[in-house]
């Protein structure tokens, strides 16, 4: 505050771009942390975490499904039905230390199954995208960006 400026006047000043970005980043990170503690993220939270560089989204559907709908922009393709899926997922995890991994599938069922299976093997940092690509609240229903 400057000499004659009240707290109310200081609060009414527009935020600088830097302050606004810091505030928005804090909100996104707090929401992502809250959602991750529950083991799921909304499609919007996954998109925002991916855009912020705090999250890695792995599309675990089949190549035919990728062709049908495209994949989330920025996601990594890794067919859960392919040989060596878990080993390749572990490799991706090692290549991206410090990043959370979110699994996305058609509607959430396969991702939940894989998350539970891997949790039994000590993987505690996997989350899933609620609604997957096609389910209610999923990636496409939220009109989030996809690539072929």
Separation of alpha carbons 117 and 1, rounded Å: 55
pLDDT value at residue 35: 41
Residue 124: HSE in the Cβ half-sphere, 13 Å Cα cutoff = 2
Closest by Cα among 29, 35, 30, 34 to 49: 29
Closest by Cα among 25, 104, 101 to 71: 104
pLDDT value at residue 37: 46
**Residues in CB range of 104: below 8 A, 6 or more apart:** 46, 57, 58, 59, 60, 61, 72, 75, 111, 128, 129, 132, 133, 139
pLDDT value at residue 83: 94
pLDDT value at residue 82: 95
Closest by Cα among 63, 45, 38 to 127: 38
pTM score, whole prediction: 0.73
Q: In a structure prediction context, what are the per-residue pLDDT tens digits for the chain, which is 148 residues long?
A: 556 666 656 555 666 666 555 555 544 444 444 444 469 999 999 999 999 999 999 999 999 999 999 999 999 999 999 999 999 999 999 999 889 999 999 999 999 999 999 999 988 889 999 999 999 999 999 999 999 9
Please check whether the domain covering 39-147 is classified as CATH 3.40.1080.10.
Answer: no
């Amino acid at each position: 505050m400057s000499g004659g400026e009240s707290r109310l006047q200081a609060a009414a000043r527009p935020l600088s771009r830097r302050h606004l970005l810091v505030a928005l980043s804090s909100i996104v990170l707090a929401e992502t942390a809250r959602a991750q503690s529950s083991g799921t993220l909304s499609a919007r939270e996954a998109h925002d975490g991916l855009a912020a560089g705090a999250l890695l989204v792995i599309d675990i559907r089949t190549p035919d499904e990728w062709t049908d709908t495209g994949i989330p922009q920025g996601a990594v393709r890794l067919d859960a039905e392919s040989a060596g899926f878990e080993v390749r997922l572990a490799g991706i995890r090692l290549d991206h230390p410090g990043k959370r991994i979110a699994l996305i599938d058609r509607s959430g069922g396969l991702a939940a199954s894989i998350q539970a299976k891997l949790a039994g093997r000590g993987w505690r940092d996997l989350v899933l995208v609620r609604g997957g690509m096609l389910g209610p609240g999923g990636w496409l229903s939220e009109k989030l960006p996809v690539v072929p």
